[in-house]
Amino acid sequence: MGGLTDDPAFLATTFVVIDFEATTPKGYPAQPIEVAALALRYEHGAWTAAGRPFASLIRPPAFAPVTPAVTAQTGLTPEQVRQAPTPAEALSALDRRFAAGKQYLLVAQHAATEANLIYNQREHCPVLARIDFLDTIPLAKYLVPGLPNHKLDTLLAHFAIKQPADRHRAYADVGVTAQVFLQLISAVDGDAQFSDLAALVKIAGRTAKCNMPAQSGLFDI
């Protein structure tokens, strides 16, 4: 490789692929029921895992039960999450994985979904909530514009990545999203349009909601 993967900022960054499964109760924001994360670094010309993967079920609040529709989508049942860690327990455990002074970017397929879930749980994961995103969808749109859509299943088929048996579980989806991400990085490496991390962020970056400027009131004096 070359170009992007020679950039010092790129080499200094740990890329954390993250995925949530959630339930969407009427009248409330989506509530996480599972989270998984996989940290990757590019070192000595190859990708390596940075530490152990993280995965946890999450017990949703009473107002956000696991519905039959969620079970049909994810395979998760109310019984599986009944004794799971609370959002505070699960997300604070994930938050502790991030070391002070290191540079991170979160990687997600349709990052807005993960960004909203993290923002709504920010009191439990204040470090995680301040990390910006790379979204695989705009990067894929830039690189393979002719696809009928850029959903994860479409990208898996395009890159000949095998569908996991437990697709729509957080850990499985993190694994295949990571594979898509590495394919995309391989495709842009050496492209003059992607000479450094800043160029990659310009195309695919998404600012964490906690890092967005606060909007003052319309009639503030």
Provide the phi-psi class of 168: left if phi over 0, else alpha when psi is between -120 and 50, else beta: left
Work out the percent of the chain whose per-residue pLDDT is above 90. Answer: 92
Instruction: Answer whether residue 173 shows pLDDT above 50.
Output: yes
Mean pLDDT of the chain: 95
| Long-range Cβ contact pairs of 201-206 (< 8 A, separation 24 or more) | 201/105, 201/132, 201/134, 203/138, 203/139, 203/142, 204/134, 204/135, 204/136, 204/138, 204/139, 204/142, 205/105, 205/132, 205/133, 205/134, 205/135, 206/111, 206/112, 206/115, 206/132, 206/133, 206/134, 206/135
pLDDT tens by residue, 13-23: 999 999 999 99
Instruction: Answer whether residue 1 shows pLDDT above 70.
Output: no
Instruction: Answer whether residue 221 shows pLDDT above 60.
Output: no
| pTM beyond 0.85 | yes
pLDDT tens by residue, 43-86: 999 999 999 999 999 999 999 999 999 999 999 999 999 999 99
Among the four given CATH numbers 3.40.190.10, 3.30.420.10, 3.20.20.70, 3.40.605.10, the one describing domain 3-211? 3.30.420.10
Please name which of 49, 20, 47 lies closest in space to residue 36, comparing C-alpha atoms: 20
Q: Where are the domains of the chain?
A: 3-211
Per-residue tokens: 12: 């200094």
pLDDT tens by residue, 81-118: 999 999 999 999 999 999 999 999 999 999 999 999 99
What pLDDT is attached to residue 3? Answer: 85
pLDDT band at residue 183 using 50, 70 and 90 as cut-offs: very high
Average pLDDT (127-146) is: 97
Residue type, 194: F
Provide the phi-psi class of 27: left if phi over 0, else alpha when psi is between -120 and 50, else beta: left
For residue 169, CA distances in Å to 83, 91, 187 come to 18, 17, 27
The stretches of the chain forming alpha helices (DSSP H) are 8-11, 68-74, 78-82, 87-95, 111-120, 136-143, 152-158, 170-188, 197-204
Which residues lie across from 205 on neighbouring strands?
134
3-state SS assignment for residue 43: strand
What pLDDT is attached to residue 190? Answer: 78
Instruction: Answer whether residue 185 shows pLDDT above 80.
Output: yes
pLDDT band at residue 2 using 50, 70 and 90 as cut-offs: low
pLDDT band at residue 191 using 50, 70 and 90 as cut-offs: confident
CA gap 83, 1 in Å, rounded:
46
Instruction: Answer whether residue 186 shows pLDDT above 70.
Output: yes
Instruction: Answer whether residue 202 shows pLDDT above 90.
Output: yes
For residue 181, CA distances in Å to 11, 17, 106, 134, 176 come to 16, 9, 11, 9, 9
Instruction: Answer whether residue 210 shows pLDDT above 90.
Output: yes
